[in-house]
Structure 1
Amino acid sequence: MGRADERRARQRGGHRAAPGRRSAAPASEPSGGPGGPVGKPAKGRIRRLFTWKKILGTFFGLCLLCMAGFAALYMSVDVPAGNVAAQRQSNVYKYSDGTVLARDGEVNREIVDLSKVPRKVQLTFVAAENKSFYTDPGVDLKGTARGLLNTLAGRGKQGGSTITQQYVKNYYLSQDQTVSRKLKEMVISLKVEREKSKDEILAGYINTSYYGRGAYGIQAAAQAYYHVDAQDLTVQQGAYLAALLQAPSQYDWSTATPTGKRLVTDRWNYVLNNMVKEHWLDPGKRAALKFPVPKAPKGAPGMEGQKGYLVQLANTQLQNQIMKQQGISRSEAEAKVEGQGWTITLNVDRKKQAALEKSVKNQLTSKLEPKQRPVDADVQAGAASVDPKTGRIVALYGGQDYYSHWTDNAFRRDYQPASTFKPVILAAALEHEATTQSGTLIGANTVYDGTSRRQVLDHGSRVGFAPPNEDDANYGPISVQTAMNKSVNSVFAQMGVDVGMDKVMDTAKRLGMDTEGMQAVPAQTLGSMGASPLEMAGIYATLDNHGRKVTPSIIKSAEQQGRTVQLPNPVGERVLDRTTADTVTSVLTGVVDDGTARQSVANSALRTGQQVAGKTGTSDCDRSAWFTGYTPDLVTSVGLFGEAHKDGGTGCEGEKVKKFAHVSLKGTMGGGRVNGGGPPAQIWAAYTFGVTRQADFDLDTTQGAAVAPTPPPSPTKTPSQTPSQTPSSEPPTSAPPSETPSETPSDTPSSTPPTQSPTQTPTTQPPSGGFTPRNPFDPGQRDAQR
């Protein structure tokens, strides 16, 4: 019978067995087959398969396999470089008094050294997260295993990591919840424990953790929640920040629900109680601690207004110093400064900064009406204020708003300083003991020909330069003092050639002007080069500081993670003889009391007796207007610049105007010409007289308007010795009223010539004692000559 037949027979109930096969078992025999009841052979096989030897062997084999796998993992996983996001942090900029000016960076983080965090505040984090931190190997095997199982089971994020593991996750890895990431976390944690101290790990943890309110790191958190630096945190405040790490958003007191407030309070108590248990906090002190309710959130300081200009200058000066110290390029220095966690304290005085901003607003910007007068939209103002004794920049005005005008008007060098350069020419003449064409020593009393468009001569030869005076005014023979007061171009053009333009430009360089690429030509006597308000403030500060070089600095200190950059002293060596510097200062007091700054500065109602020296300046076509002036304790340079706010119109030379081009300021605020003695001097006076104290210049000189007048002649002198015989014997105030700045408040002298009728040639020195300048600080004399 074949297999098919046998199968059919079984289906019919047949009992015939196939040939060669055993008969079916008796009905009484279990169907499990021969050998007894069902399962007995299976149990035997199980016993034979799972013997103790095999179980132990398998266990140890698995252990060896795990160890080998871990060893391979340990060898293959290196400690990586910190991820970029964890290293990125804000630069923090502070005023000189330590209050925060601005934060600049994509991430609100400022890394601080652990030494700047109080010890008990450090321990609040240990008590909250990992009480065994100081004794464990950096890895919680039980917690890690639980986290792995939960991850495999899809139950999401689980806690239980040590502080070391959390630091590794924050700094070296990501927040992804994967098996591979958790295994790497464990391996890297063990390696980090071998390479770093516990303090370094704790510092890394508290500096990389997120605390809510956009704050990364304990310093940003301290500012965000309590408006203090990390070093000023109390233990109860530290306990709150440590409690926050469990659920920053839920535990933020300002937005927490009642449940959230209860939970964070419980967590806060848990932290402090753990500190008591670990003997890190006295029970009595613990009992006295009250929950420190955080302050309301405040917006992070931005770059609006003047802040951006201050930050920009601070970054530039820090980059310059790093470039000098490390010999690197500008781009490399920028990468080391921008968003790299610097704490930069500026020299800027918060009160002076506010006063300067207020002065510009009151004297200028509040009076501009661009919709009614298109020229008003072209006005840009810049100012820099410097302490001459220290070289510190105490206030700066870069423009109306950093976000709307990126160019820093206090730092830009594309406008001419005009007549504010004239004191440099006089300084060069005095320093080099230069003489006129006829061999007369140049000084404050020296007489020059003040005729407009007079050809400049070099020992009889014309040099091809004949500058006009403002308004083409002719003065005839005039003293250097009066020429400075009236800003007479023809006099200083000739003086520049008398001194030697190479010497003039060398003096400018030594005083702090960037003269690279400038030609030593007579045209430079008109201030036709480019200069910034900050640059001019430095030059005048050197004069105010008796010839010791002042390089204005905005940075008081710069620190990064405990490392401080060594900054140069803003006050350097002497670059001018003291008598030279003091004589220029003395002469410049005449500009204020008898010259182009008289109306806005000398006659200011805010002036309370301060001695002032300074110089106005107005460039060709009124494209820029300046006043740079100083008292014994403050130097400030103010500049107004015409900058086209859009394309269109015609320039001074008939050219088509493009946006940002230099254009005339004429007509600003509905007036006529804009001169240095106008808005710039008004801004200067409103600011300076509000922040300076009354003081006298300490001058070592016998020349200039600030020197006491010569005693009157004795009765025995004959009338023939009257000053009328000497060209410069009449003091500057003897000019007719039409020349006085009270009627013409600008660099432009009146076209009416002086009343003197000198008989000497314009380049001769008057007889000794012939020039008798008045003392502008003698109220009685000033009133008598007004």
Structure 2
Amino acid sequence: MGRAEERRARQRGGRRAAPKRRSRPVANGASGVNGASGASGASGKPAKSFIRRLFTWKKILGTFFGFCLLCIGSFIVLYLMVDVPTGNPAAEQQSNVYKYSDGSILARDGKVNREIVDLTKVPRKVQLTFVAAENKNFYHDHGIDFKGTARGLINTLSGKGKQGGSTITQQYVKNYYLNQDQTVTRKLKELVISLKVERQKGKDDILAGYINTSYYGRGAYGIQAAAQAYYRVDAEDLSVEQGAYLAALLQAPSQYDWAVASATGKKLVTQRWNYVLNNMVEEGWLDSAKRQSMKFPVPKDPKGTPGREGQKGYLIELANKQLEQQLMDEQGISRSDAEAKVENQGWTITLNIDKKKQTQLEKAVKSQLTAKLDKKKRRVDGDVQAGAVSVDPKTGKIVALYGGVDYFKHYVSNATRRDYQPASTFKPLILAAALEDDAETQNGKQISASTIYDGTSRRQVVANGSKVGFAPPNEDNQNYGPITVQKAMNKSVNSVFAQMGVDVGMDKVMGTAKKLGMDTEGMQAVPAQTLGSMGASPLEMAGIYATFDNHGNKVTPTIVKSAEKKSGSVQMPNPIGGPVISRTAADGVTSVLTGVVDDGTASESVAQNSQRDGQQVAGKTGTSDCNRSAWFTGYTPDLVTSVGLFGEAGKAGGKGCDGQPIKRFDHVSLKGAMGGGRVNGGGPPAEIWATYTFGVTKRSKFDLNTTQGAAVEPTETPTWTYHPTQTPSTTPSSTPSKSTTPSQTPSQTPSQTPSQTPSQTPSQSPTTGQPTGGVTDDPLNLDDQ
């Protein structure tokens, strides 16, 4: 026994190790010594597989460290090769050119609004608002965020786009030395240049460069231009509150611009404003007590930008937004980056706007509305705002748009705003859901144009034999008794469509609305929505009705025909999509809506118009509660146009329908405008529509695949659903909330009463005309015509 073996034996307690035995192959797969298989080693353990021998821990660790060394080496090479370029962002900015669909020039837009200011001209606490908003560790970092940059690179490679992580230094480098492209090369250059800039410049110089090169919206580049654009002051006179707003604005300039922001946009920018100030308190840059006393600094109204006067500004605004959205979807970039890539970047953007139709639409609004307004005689005339969008249903092109009296005088586009109720223009969507789903009434009868409902005003809506606590009035509390769906649509009978919505299922109704193109985010699927109590825009409603006109194939109205620049072009998505509802359902709605024009609430303004010349028309009127909005959305086989009138307080003073003091820009009643009474959808909106449409369309007929509705001869007898047995109470069982929007009902009863005897008897019955002792004029001034 050698010394080594003796030592090992002592360690094992004096036992000598057994001699190693060479394994022998065993014939016919028999087991070897001690039962070990022939595939086992001498120790009885299985032999390592090829994969285990190939991927050992040593090899894996070696490969990992080798990869790290390769990355470090590559980065060193990149660092040595990439120099800090000469920054001159103003030289890169060029005017955008906007053209009509025929190629003629609409506008040149993009004079750079920038004035560089020294950091000493910006109050210290205002400087810190930007640090608090974007990069709290700015004064302690080395100019880069490795984790954020790595995440950005991974997202770029995987096609997920940008997801934050940039420091102020990186954003400054992107704005001043590079561009907004989301590529791996650009991100790596940004990383290297940021490191070098940190070595070459001080923090104050970097912060000054950042706030002087960033885009703030309203055509303003840099803090000085932004201070003037939003608060009419120089940068040196900004308050901390105002600075915090400008800092918050950088995340999404257009979305957060208070003058045009939606309710969601205002909520988001207010939250970010609070976030900025709270961060300043946490960092010890702002006194907590002073922070608590600060109020949100509402910006001033924007000034007109040269080249955007009249309707041009509204057209340019929508074109920019749609192009920005496409860049966001295509490249995965943020909203602020998309805006920076569009504004003043030398684009040639051709719009789908037809010059002849655009001129005709503007003339129609002037002749049927603005020429009749006199705010010196009637205060309400100063509260009237009009918006309209016209779409080709076969191509999805927006061929004309009216955003307001003048972009310089009314910055918010009435064509795209979504803060007014569409009222009974929503009713066709309920019918579409019913036809698409083959829905049935409470007594199991399939819903169609000939189905008879109970048209009693304030009739309690029923579901599965129980009242649901919703009883909307018809206009002027009018009762209809038994009435077909066709006539209920013609006369816009609220009680019928409230019940129909429940029969179909409000979740299905709202689902159909979403498929057709309505933004239903945040909307509850409740019976009150049957009265169109949500918000919608003329653009949105034009797209929905264009989908009906296009036999159920989705139409997404698009204003951008093409967008190109020296570095390339952007391919806009096809405005026409596949079917979202069946052709029979879409055509059934169109057929029913021809009755609204020929025999219903739009007959006087549209059907009897001297320019009609036999043109077939479908459409729907709408008038919201308190007469705050009035609509007509109508279409011919080749053109869809939605016209909305909105009551917006031109100045503060007086009290609204709810008895509350009126502030400027509040939603107010249109009643009394132009020296008349209530402004209904069948009035000025329908008149504008008819004057415009009949001046630009050619006579044609709908090609409908349906056997029901006013456009075709009925092939079936009416289906009864409710039969009156008693007179309703003179006291309404449920008073609707002020947010609901009922519809108008004419003063006469339906001219026809089905002769057949109903097979079922409901628990409540209507009377024709006014109920005895009933309300003669709705106290809430609810109507829908």
TM above 0.5, one fold? yes
State the 1:85 CA deviation.
Answer: 2.6
- Does the 8 A contact of 1:447 with 1:762 survive in 2? no
- Does the 8 A contact of 1:343 with 1:558 survive in 2? yes
State the 1:754 CA deviation.
Answer: 2.6
Deviations 1:620-654 (A, max 9, x none): 01000000000000000000000001111110111
How many equivalent residue pairs? Answer: 475
Instruction: Please name the residue that 2:90 is paired with.
Output: 85
State the 1:332 CA deviation.
Answer: 1.1
Alpha-carbon distance in structure 1 between the residues aligned to 2:432 and 2:344: 43
Q: Does 1:382 align with 2:387?
A: yes
Alpha-carbon distance in structure 2 between the residues aligned to 1:762 and 1:753: 23
- Does the 8 A contact of 2:452 with 2:718 survive in 1? no
Q: Does 1:574 align with 2:579?
A: yes
Query: What secondary structure does 1:377 align onto?
Result: helix
After superposition, the Cα gap between the structure-2 partners of 1:603 and 1:87, relative to the gap in structure 1 and judged at 3 Å, is: same
- Decide which of 480, 487, 491 is 2:485's aligned counterpart: 480
Alpha-carbon distance in structure 2 between the residues aligned to 1:319 and 1:97: 23
Alpha-carbon distance in structure 2 between the residues aligned to 1:445 and 1:521: 25
Instruction: Please name the residue that 2:151 is paired with.
Output: none
Q: Does 1:751 align with 2:747?
A: yes
State the 1:328 CA deviation.
Answer: 1.5
Instruction: Please name the residue that 1:395 is paired with.
Output: 400
Instruction: Please name the residue that 2:645 is paired with.
Output: 640
State the 1:413 CA deviation.
Answer: 0.2
Instruction: Please name the residue that 1:361 is paired with.
Output: 366
State the 1:80 CA deviation.
Answer: 3.5
Alpha-carbon distance in structure 1 between the residues aligned to 2:620 and 2:479: 20
Q: Does 1:511 align with 2:523?
A: no
- Decide which of 468, 475, 492 is 1:470's aligned counterpart: 475
In the TM superposition, 1:723-762 aligns within 5 A as 748-758=744-754, 760-761=757-758
Q: Calculate the TM-score normalised by the size of structure 2.
A: 0.58
State the 1:107 CA deviation.
Answer: 5.2
Alpha-carbon distance in structure 2 between the residues aligned to 1:725 and 1:506: 26
In the TM superposition, 1:9-88 aligns within 5 A as 80-81=85-86, 83-88=88-93
Deviations 1:51-84 (A, max 9, x none): xxxxxxxxxxxxxxxxxxxxxxxx9997833522
In the TM superposition, 1:432-511 aligns within 5 A as 432-511=437-516
Instruction: Please name the residue that 2:614 is paired with.
Output: 609
Alpha-carbon distance in structure 2 between the residues aligned to 1:487 and 1:764: 24
Alpha-carbon distance in structure 1 between the residues aligned to 2:521 and 2:351: 28
Alpha-carbon distance in structure 1 between the residues aligned to 2:581 and 2:343: 38
In the TM superposition, 1:703-782 aligns within 5 A as 703-708=708-713, 748-758=744-754, 760-761=757-758
After superposition, the Cα gap between the structure-2 partners of 1:393 and 1:531, relative to the gap in structure 1 and judged at 3 Å, is: same
- Does the 8 A contact of 1:675 with 1:747 survive in 2? no
- Does the 8 A contact of 1:447 with 1:764 survive in 2? no
Alpha-carbon distance in structure 2 between the residues aligned to 1:724 and 1:443: 9
- Greater radius of gyration (CA): 1
Instruction: Please name the residue that 1:587 is paired with.
Output: 592
Alpha-carbon distance in structure 1 between the residues aligned to 2:700 and 2:481: 36
Paired amino acid for 1:692: T
Q: Does 1:689 align with 2:694?
A: yes
- Does the 8 A contact of 1:102 with 1:301 survive in 2? no
Instruction: Please name the residue that 2:428 is paired with.
Output: 423
Instruction: Please name the residue that 1:258 is paired with.
Output: none
Deviations 1:127-160 (A, max 9, x none): xxxxxxxxxxxxxxxxxxxxxxxxxxxxxxxxxx
After superposition, the Cα gap between the structure-2 partners of 1:544 and 1:684, relative to the gap in structure 1 and judged at 3 Å, is: same
State the 1:353 CA deviation.
Answer: 0.3
After superposition, the Cα gap between the structure-2 partners of 1:708 and 1:755, relative to the gap in structure 1 and judged at 3 Å, is: closer
Query: What secondary structure does 2:357 align onto?
Result: helix
- Does the 8 A contact of 2:385 with 2:647 survive in 1? yes
Alpha-carbon distance in structure 1 between the residues aligned to 2:760 and 2:648: 40
- Does the 8 A contact of 1:440 with 1:763 survive in 2? no
Query: What secondary structure does 1:694 align onto?
Result: coil
Q: Does 1:619 align with 2:615?
A: no
In the TM superposition, 1:306-321 aligns within 5 A as 306-321=311-326
Q: Does 1:701 align with 2:706?
A: yes
Alpha-carbon distance in structure 2 between the residues aligned to 1:756 and 1:688: 32
Query: What secondary structure does 1:573 align onto?
Result: strand
After superposition, the Cα gap between the structure-2 partners of 1:638 and 1:762, relative to the gap in structure 1 and judged at 3 Å, is: farther
Q: Percent identity?
A: 73
After superposition, the CA RMSD in angstroms is: 2.7
Paired amino acid for 2:102: D
- Does the 8 A contact of 1:448 with 1:763 survive in 2? no
Alpha-carbon distance in structure 1 between the residues aligned to 2:668 and 2:90: 46
Instruction: Please name the residue that 2:309 is paired with.
Output: 304
Instruction: Please name the residue that 2:357 is paired with.
Output: 352
Alpha-carbon distance in structure 1 between the residues aligned to 2:505 and 2:436: 12
Paired amino acid for 1:601: V
- Decide which of 598, 601, 626 is 1:596's aligned counterpart: 601
Alpha-carbon distance in structure 1 between the residues aligned to 2:84 and 2:556: 46
Gaps of 5+ in 1: 1-74, 109-170, 173-299, 712-722, 729-745, 766-786
Instruction: Please name the residue that 2:729 is paired with.
Output: none
Paired amino acid for 2:746: S
Alpha-carbon distance in structure 2 between the residues aligned to 1:106 and 1:754: 61
State the 1:671 CA deviation.
Answer: 0.2
Which 4+ runs in 1 deviate beyond 3 A?
Answer: 75-82, 708-711, 723-728, 755-765
Alpha-carbon distance in structure 2 between the residues aligned to 1:686 and 1:725: 38
State the 1:86 CA deviation.
Answer: 1.7
After superposition, the Cα gap between the structure-2 partners of 1:519 and 1:79, relative to the gap in structure 1 and judged at 3 Å, is: closer
After superposition, the Cα gap between the structure-2 partners of 1:423 and 1:79, relative to the gap in structure 1 and judged at 3 Å, is: same
Instruction: Please name the residue that 1:734 is paired with.
Output: none
Q: Does 1:665 align with 2:670?
A: yes
- Decide which of 657, 676, 680 is 1:675's aligned counterpart: 680
After superposition, the Cα gap between the structure-2 partners of 1:480 and 1:490, relative to the gap in structure 1 and judged at 3 Å, is: same
Query: What secondary structure does 1:698 align onto?
Result: coil
